[in-house]
Every structure is written in C-alpha cells, then in structure tokens.
Chains A and B, each alone.
Chain A
Amino acid sequence: MEAYERHGRALIRKAVRLLGNAEDARDVVQGLFADLHQRGDTSSELPYLYRAVTNRCLTFLRDSANRARLLERNDRSLMPVARTPCDDHVIGLDLLAKLVRELDEAETEVLTYRYLDDMTQDEIATLLGVSRKTVGHRLDRVREAVRRLATEGRRES
C-alpha cells in the first residue's frame, strides 16, 4: 500500500472536488485501493490513479440515488473551489449532476479534467492518450450541453 501512503491524500482531494464531501471521497479512494490490492495491481503512478478515481467518482455520480443524496446535502459554501469558468458557469455539483446525464463517459471525463482539475487541453490529451483535437471536440460537446441546460433553465424559470 505504498501507493496509497504516497498518493492517498491527493486522490481524496481529487474525489472531494468531484463529489463535494470527504466521506464519499474516502470511500471511493479506499474502494479503488482495495480492488487494486485484491487484483495484485501495484500501479503507483499518480496520473493513472487520478484517472481511476475520476472514473469511479463519475460512476458514483451516475447512480441516481447517490446523485440525489449528494445534491440534497450539498452546501454551496462547502463547494470545492474552481479556477476556471465554463462558459460563465462554474461547474458545481448541481450542474455536474445534470451533465453526467447529458454527456457520454468520454465527454464527462474530459469535462472534469478541464473544469474541475484545471487541466489544459494538451495535458488532458496526454493523460488520455488521445489527440488534442479529440479533446477539443469533446469539450465542444460539453459547452453545447451547458448552453442547452442553461437555455432550458431559463425557459423553466
């Protein structure tokens, strides 16, 4: 569990940014290391573990019961800080919860790296092993979904 000792805190911080609370974040990270241990997987590179935690958090968010519970207890004052606006919408848990239903897995993953982890498109491309153009296309679809949700929100209000 050397990798956990070294990277556990960084991964929990990452999960907190996505899920908005430490309890669920710790569970996600602990679940990852428990599974890695069971599989005899000794991966210790932070970028690899970062992706694994991201995908586990997104799977957690896709579960409607989890999503409802997170939103119910979400306190905006406790929201993770964000440095990058997304078309003037800071990605909070409420918007993220809507977007995971609008976007496919690849698009949602790119969304979190860009708008919650503040990665550049080049950094995302390197992490995912895809071209920058592909990242750009996925981000276009993210922005489109944000605009669509914003338009729908205005219509409803």
Chain B
Amino acid sequence: MSGAARCNGEPISWLRLERYHLGEVDDAERERIARHLASCRACAACLEKIRADDESALPAIVPARPGARVRRLPRAVIFSSTIGTLAAAAAVVLALRGGGAPSEAGGHPGEIARVKGDAMAFSLVREDGTRIDGDAGTYREGDRWKALVTCPPGEGVSLDLVVFDADGASFPLEPSPDFACGNDAPMRGAFRLTGHGEAEVCLAWSSAGPVDRGSLAPSRAGAPGRVCKTLSAR
C-alpha cells in the first residue's frame, strides 16, 4: 500500500490476493474478495501490484541435479599434504579459462582440485538457465550468475569466489565459512559480470577456516591447484 490509501476494513492478506489472482479460491471466497476490492482502494492497489509484477520475467531456477556425480581428480593434480605453499591451508581455486587452454595456474580442462581425498566441481549458471560446466564460456555484460559447487557431503569447507579481470581481483559473494557440500550446492548470492573483457571466475576453498582473500588476490598466476577457465565477453 502506498501509504496514502488505507484499507477500509480488515485487509485481504497477500496470500489471499495471490491465490485470488491465480484463481485458486472457491466461488464464495472469490465473491468475498471481489466485494472488498470494489470498495477498498488500498487492497485493489495491492492486487494491481501483483498483476504488474507478474509481467516481469521469472528468473530461471538453478536446479540441483540429483544424479550429478563428483568428478574425480586426475592424479596429476592431487596435492601432497606437504605442499606448504597453498595459501590458507590449501586454498583451491577453480577459475574459468578461455578456449579450453591450460590455465595460468597449471590447470587443464576438466581437472578438479583434490579436497581431502575427494574432489570438488564448480559450475556457473546464468539466470536464463544457461550452464557452464566446462572450462570456457561467454557472458554478456550484466548477466547474473550463480555458482554451484559439488563436493563430498560432510566435508567442512570454507568457500569464496574471486573474479579476476582487467581491474584486478574482486569478491562478489559473501564468503561461505561452513559450506554444506552436496551435488550442485548453490553458493549463497549471485553476481553480475560487467565490462567487455575477459573474466576469470575462481572458486577458492579452505579446510582450515575462512579463505584468506589477501592470499588469493595476488596469486592469479602460477598458484598450484588452480583449474581455470575463462569467460569471454560476447
């Protein structure tokens, strides 16, 4: 309600209005609501708001895939626990790289960094439902993306997302300090890619507390454990 108009009686709840709008009410209820709406500008305005909003596009759902399997690691990228250079106790970065080329960090298409004896997978899903599982993809400026992570349930992991572009590193999502692993488990929030250049989107993981962002930003090139892909602007 815009504040100017006030309901002249007991307001029709939003749920009843929604169901009325959807045709989910019986005849008696429909008549009651219609009678109220005829005499109440406030509630009629709420219904108009619902109708107007229904003209907008519904964001594509990002469904989990019950059948999805965790991809196993090629031996070549299994980390030894003695690799002490992994920042913040083995932060693993999955980054998007272009054209299926090997990443700057030594990753190759399809490679998954090892996590405590198991593996992680990372996909991006655009709002229109387009999904990027592979190492490369394209984006349009302003596209809204969600990140889906597949990792072994029960693992205590902290995740963070970092985007590298011409302006440097940025962290578009809230860190996930205690991520609930599963198949295609969505990271909270979504992000947009802007600009017209190449963008690397990296998923960072740590099994020893929150991912240290400071250690990720400067390590764009040459960090062990990265699997990279690139998103190119369309």
Residues of A in contact with B (beta carbons under 8 Å apart): 1, 4-10, 12-14, 17, 23-24, 26-27, 30-31, 33-35, 37-38, 40, 46-47, 50, 65, 69, 81-84, 113, 117-120, 123, 127
Contact = CB atoms under 8 A, between A and B. Distances in A.
In this complex, the interface size class of chain B, counting residues with CB under 8 Å from chain A, is 35 or more
B188 interface: yes
B61 interface: yes
Contacts of B56: 9
A27 B7 contact: no
A38 B188 CA distance: 17
The residue in B7, B59, B61 that gathers the most chain A C-beta atoms within 10 A of its C-beta is B61
A65 B22 CA distance: 36
Given A23-B189, A83-B7, A50 B15 contact: yes
Given A82-B1, A118-B14, A119-B15, A33 B63 contact: yes
Contacts, number: 100
Interface in B44-74: 46, 50, 53-54, 56, 58-59, 61-64, 66
B16 interface: yes
Given A23-B189, A46-B22, A81-B2, A13 B61 contact: no
16 contacts: A4-B61, A5-B58, A8-B61, A13-B18, A30-B186, A34-B61, A34-B186, A38-B66, A40-B66, A46-B18, A47-B15, A69-B174, A83-B11, A83-B42, A117-B15, A119-B15
Interface of B: 1-3, 6-7, 10-16, 18-19, 21-22, 24, 42-43, 46, 50, 53-54, 56, 58-59, 61-64, 66, 146, 174, 182-184, 186, 188-190
A40 B67 CA distance: 12
B190 A26 contact: yes
Given A14-B14, A81-B3, A1 B190 contact: no
